Amino acid sequence: MRSQAFTRGPGNVHNRRVHEERADGTARPGRSAGAADVVEVAEVDGVGETDEVVRPDGISAGFHAYLGRAGVPGLVHAGDQRAPTSWLIGTHRHDVWELYLQTDGPATRWRVRDHDYTVGRNGLLVVPPGAVHHMVCPASTTWHYVFAAFDAAALLADLPEAAAVWQRSVPAHVPDAGSAVAPFEAFLREVTTTQSLRATGLTLTARHLLVEVTRLMTSGEVTGQVGLHPAVAHARRLLDAAPGRRLPLAALARAVGLSPAYLGELFTEQLGASPANYHRSLRLRRAEMLLAETDASITQVAVELGFSSAQHFATAFRARTGRTPREFRRQWRGGRTPAPRVSPKPVRSGVLS
């Protein structure tokens, strides 16, 4: 199993041109720009012509994968990016559905068609084909998001009940889509690794992600898990949605309406681990994904996942995997040296193209 090598890219637009708007919706005149900048005009192709993973100039960490030749009809592009305040996603549209899931950082403001949305942590924005959308203004601090573009009808053709939801062609905003984080991570792991049965892995994980998003769009909440006490299921969802936050047992117990002792007993009995151990394992699995799929520094990973220091993180990571974070990243990437990090630059626009 190897991660795909990153290629440095000129920006998410890849030398395309996009239309940039002021916050009030009026067009800003186009300006001459370098390869990573953008100027006036319009559309983003819906179907990629290559299968490659690039790191756009201007982001702090992460990648953008083009999946036109991945061997899976319906997959277009996907990515996982950490962006500085200078990264403004300009006006664009696709001819397929796009999912935007914000996993960290301040709430960001978006306009889809003529509606405004505020997307916070674990918020999901679902943009239909042809819908013009863009960020209204830059984020106030560094922010982290994942995204993917699919032909949902092609991927869900044999699931008519799910496919019907994607025929409505209306935007959707799910304020708490924490249950989609794990399926998104599984899909992105397939995107960024080359191994046997890759097309099968991409297909299955993409469908899993779309099924979970379909549930969120139609119900807005997870109904529970068979066999679990409702409070345990609720506590598990809270932990799953917050891998980087400290959630003491007392706070968790208050949220689900049980005493700390009783919740700890029930949780351990039904899930085989205490809430603290379950959450630690969740954070370390997330750490494996960040080390494998992004160029975030070890200190950045430690901070994002709520460890008190890089040393504390390294100790916990080694206890779980038998390797230090640096060793894990080196072995996962097959000895390749990660692409150089990109320093923040003046405000520019990019698109999830």
pLDDT digits (tens, 9 = 90+) for 178-190: 889 999 999 999 9
Task: Tell me, yes or no, whether 36 lies in a domain.
Answer: yes
Comparing 202 with 20, which gets the higher pLDDT? 202
Rounded alpha-carbon distances, angstroms, from residue 71 to 116, 118, 230: 36, 35, 41
**Residues 170, 105 share a domain:** yes
pTM (two decimals): 0.62
pLDDT tens track for 207-256: 999 999 999 988 744 444 445 788 888 898 888 888 888 889 999 999 99
Angle made by CA atoms 243, 247, 250, in degrees to the nearest 5: 160
pLDDT of residue 126: 95
pLDDT averaged over every residue in the chain: 78
Q: How do strand 61-67 and strand 172-174 relate by DSSP bridges?
A: unpaired
**Residues 159, 27 share a domain:** yes
Q: Are 251 and 263 in contact (CB under 8 A)?
A: no
pLDDT bucket at 140, cuts 50 / 70 / 90: confident
Q: Which helix (H) or strand (E) holds 42?
A: none
SS3 38: coil
**Residues 134, 19 share a domain:** yes
pLDDT tens track for 323-339: 899 998 888 776 443 33
Q: What CATH number is attached to the domain comprising 319?
A: 1.10.10.60
**Residues 192, 64 share a domain:** yes
**Structural domain that includes position 153:** 2-222+342-350
The two structure tokens encoding residue 103:
């996993």
CA distance 9 to 345: 15
CA distance 98 to 145: 13
Comparing 15 with 120, which gets the higher pLDDT? 120
Task: Tell me, yes or no, whether 337 lies in a domain.
Answer: no
Q: Which helix (H) or strand (E) holds 5?
A: none
- List the one residue out of 294, 339, 293, 287 whose CA is nearest residue 316: 287
